[in-house]
Amino acid sequence: MRLDLFQEPIMDAMGNYMTRLSKRQQIVASNLANIDTPGYRTRDISFHATMEELLSQSPIPLRASHVEHNTMSSLAFAPLEPEVFTVSGLPLRADRNNVDLDREMLKLSETSFGFSVMAQLLRGKFRTLASAINDGRA
Amino acid sequence: MGLMTAIEVASSGLTAQRRRLEVLVSNLVNANTTQPEGKEPFRRKDVIFSSVTPEQNFGAAFDLAMSGVRGVEVSGLATDRSEPIKRYEPGHPHADKNGYVSYPNVNAMEEMVNVLSATRSYEANLQAVNSAKDMLQKTLEIIK
């Protein structure tokens, strides 16, 4: 079996997801910092929309006449610019601000948890590789 | 850049809330400060928050402005122009000719509620800093 670590689309996808999560963390931090700023509206990043877009994208396979040719299959996981939008449906306070502390705290732990999971999985990937390098010895 | 920006943004929130707390405490400690007749009595103050782009560098600031990430800063102080509270204390050295002393327009209860709100917001920002820090730590652990 050929293990091509740096062409593995799943690693790319995990990396992209982590980048996106850290972007989300920025947005949540920005919402929390502006919790008392008059007129500020809660912002968020669309995850599902971009995910659907990713899944609907069928990569056009390139023809490979040699086993070492790159068929660009990792293009399917190319990072899309995360879309920032203002969240609607949250009740406005008297100062025209609609940051909800509980919502933001939830997003904060959600993001942090997702990030931990990804980091753990990536670590597993590297462990596997390290194990292969060391002939199966830990 | 990534999680560092998150920490920077959250710490701008920490600074802003701390400054707000300072102003609120100064209101509280001056709740009973009187001035001689004819001089302007102390009036309660409050901070004005406005959102800013966190980075100084123009290129980075532009990128962040486009991405919707905003820090916060205290852009000014607002003075509450409501009337001072008059109390009848004829023996007081600062009493006017009718025996009334002008006390600042500070309501201790109101200030305490604001102090609580500032504390909570401060804690929320601290949580954001810690969370971003945890995430950075997790990234380091990938290669451990």
Instruction: Write out pLDDT tens, residues A39-80.
Output: 999 999 877 655 566 556 555 556 677 776 665 554 455 555
**Any A CB within 8 A of B6 CB:** yes
Residues of B in contact with A37 (CB under 8 A): 49-51, 72
Among all residues of chain A, which has the CA nearest to that of B13? A33
> What is the 3-state secondary structure of chain B?
CHHHHHHHHHHHHHHHHHHHHHHHHHHHHCCCCCCCCCCCCCCCEEEEEEEECCCCCHHHHHHHHHHCCCEEEEEEEEECCCCCEEEECCCCCCCCCCCEEEECCCCHHHHHHHHHHHHHHHHHHHHHHHHHHHHHHHHHHCCC
For residue A24, which of A41, A2, A44, A38 has the smallest C-alpha distance? A44
How far A48 CA lies from chain B's nearest CA (Å)? 18
How confident is the model at residue A9, as a pLDDT?
Answer: 74
How confident is the model at residue A129, as a pLDDT?
Answer: 84
Asked if A116 lies within 8 A of B138 by C-beta distance, the reply is: yes
Q: How many whole angstroms separate alpha carbon A28 and alpha carbon A108?
A: 7
Option in A29, A40, A120 nearest B128 (CB): A29
Asked if B49 lies within 8 A of A104 by C-beta distance, the reply is: no
The answer to whether B100 and B83 are in contact (CB under 8 A) is no
How confident is the model at residue A59, as a pLDDT?
Answer: 55
How confident is the model at residue B65, as a pLDDT?
Answer: 66
How confident is the model at residue B23, as a pLDDT?
Answer: 96
pLDDT one-digit tens code per residue, A7-37? 677 787 888 888 889 989 999 999 999 999 9
The answer to whether B59 and B70 are in contact (CB under 8 A) is no
How confident is the model at residue A3, as a pLDDT?
Answer: 58
Q: Mind listing the pLDDT tens digit of every residue in chain B (144 residues)?
A: 588 889 999 999 999 999 999 999 999 999 999 888 888 889 999 999 998 887 666 666 666 666 778 899 999 999 998 888 899 999 999 988 899 999 999 999 999 999 999 999 999 999 999 999 999 999 999 887
**Any B CB within 8 A of A11 CB:** no
